[in-house]
Amino acid sequence: MSENEKLEQAAEKAAPAPAKPAKADKKKDAKTEKKSKPGFFARIGKWFKEMKSELKKVQWPTKKQTINNTVIVIVCCIIVGICIWLFDWLAGSVIRALLDLFGKG
């Protein structure tokens, strides 16, 4: 949760509850709410603006960090692959030896 959302929630908890409008007022509010709702393209534009502002906040890694992390991932994948290959070879050898021992191979 972002800091802004936390602050907004804290402000909502601290603020007193507004008085409830009468039923006639609710109908008027519903009509004005529909009219004040932004259009489809306005909402898309707002979403892109918000996305752009959030991406500006991201701390992007440097080229050196990216290369270093990529090398680490490749090395880890190779090590895990070798471990799986060794386990498979060992398990296959054990099963083959057991089958040969009991004459089923």
To 10 degrees, the CA torsion angle through 12, 16, 19, 25? -20
Q: What's the pLDDT tens digit per position in 13-30?
A: 766 555 555 565 566 665
Q: How confident is the prediction for the chain on average, in pLDDT?
A: 84
Band (pLDDT 50/70/90 cuts) for residue 45 is very high
Tokens standing for residue 80: 């895990």
pLDDT of residue 48: 95
Distance in angstroms between the alpha carbons of the first and the last residue of the chain: 60
CB distance 46 to 54 below 8 Å: no
Alpha helices for the chain (secondary structure H)? 3-14, 23-36, 40-57, 63-101
Averaged over 51-71, what is the pLDDT?
95
- Of the candidates 29, 28, 47, the residue with the CA atom closest to the CA atom of residue 38: 47
pLDDT at 5 over 70: yes
Q: What is the mean pLDDT of residues 33-39?
A: 74
Please state the pTM of the whole predicted model.
0.48
Residues 62, 70: contact at Cβ < 8 Å? no
